[in-house]
Each structure stands twice: as structure tokens, then as C-alpha cells.
Amino acid sequence: METINPSIEESWKSALSAEFEKLYFLELKEFLLEERKKYRIFPPGSLIFNAFNHTPFDKVKVVFIGQDPYHGYGQAHGLCFSVPEGISKPPSLVNIFKEIDADLGIPPPKHGNLEKWANQGVLLLNATLTVRENQAGSHQHHGWENFTDAAILQLSTQKEGLIFVLWGNFAIAKRDLIDLNRHHVLTAPHPSPFSAAKGFFGCRHFSKINEILRKEGKDEIDWQI
């Protein structure tokens, strides 16, 4: 099945190989097959594992955790918070760029494609990897969370010194999957317009990430896209 065949980057395929054989994943495939008969599903099949393909397991330095893909036409391309060039920036992404400007003096870019971050080792992972058009959260609780939780657990147990960035209550709940003795965790309210003023603005997470990377002896992230 083209749309959910795990054509995923090799180091991730190795790390997550056991998941592809589990009952929940087989049921998830069947669910998606049925969904595609009735609805338009985002992102396109070739981009479902885009976050993994841009940021191989052995290259991950920073992990952002989102909830589920954008559900408007053309928005989702498999990276949390990101949209392809030519697509209007959603409000949360606008606020992310405002915080980068305030934190680092990098003016907001003209587009919202975060692939440049992903290619530097920033895993932009949604907990749910697909969604029905115009139906937010419609593919939650059908198996994707098992898969992405397994990815977080593999990162937590197999690597050291990662920086997990958890914005909003949903992402902060994922802290239970992370070994806090091995990794760094940054938390703040979600950048959504409903909550950004409650502590997302002023969190300075982008400069803090680079400060931690320096201390870990790793290359900093160039946040300019």
C-alpha cells in the first residue's frame, strides 16, 4: 500500500522495525485504507514519514512534539508546525517566528517551510501522522500515538543529551516517556494565539537550545530559514 507502506529512512526503520509487525500497526493500515476510500487524507502518502526521512535517527539533536497535522488543503507535509512554501503561515507558526525574532533577532521569514531545521537534526514530530481534510484530530487514537511514542522511547533509551521541546499540555504529557537523567526538556505553553501570551512568548527556547548544544559539544541550529 503506497500510502502507509513504511518507506522510512533506514536508521529509523531499524529502530522501529518491531512496530511495523504489531497488531495496532496492521489495524492502522486497514483504518487508513478505509479512510482514503471516503475522505481526502493529509499529508500525501509519500510525506507521512517526512519528519523521519529528513532527520535520521542517528542525526537527531532536538525533538519538537506536535499533536496532529494541519487539516487544510496543502498545509501538511509531515513536519510539525511547518507548511510548504507558498502556503500561508498558520497562527502558531507566526507566533513561533515572533519568538525567534524576539529571542535571536532573526526577522520572520516569508514562508513557513521548516525543512532547513529538520535537515540540521531537529525532529519535527507530530504524535498523529495523518488527518482527514478539515477535521482536526480525526485520526487520533487509531494507532499513530503508539508508533510515535515508540519513536520517542527509542530516542530516550538509545541516545543521550537530546533536547525535547514540549509546548502545551499535550506535548508536556510526553515527558513521561523521556529519561530526564539522560536528556534535556524545555516546556512552555503552546504557541497558539489562545495561549502564547501565557508564557510561550519570552520562553527564549531557541537560544536555550543552542546554549545546550554548545555545552554538549554539538553544532548549533541555524534558525533562519
**Residues tagged active-site:** 68
β-pairing, 41-42 vs 131-132, is antiparallel
Report d(CA 60, CA 218) in Å as an integer.
11
- Residues forming a β-bridge with 132: 41, 135
Residues 6+ apart with CB under 8 A from 38: none
> Greatest CA span in the chain, whole angstroms?
51
SS3 187: strand
How many Cα atoms occupy the beta-carbon half-sphere of 187 within 13 Å?
11
Identity of the residue numbered 123 = L
Say if CB 49 and CB 125 are below 8 A apart.
no
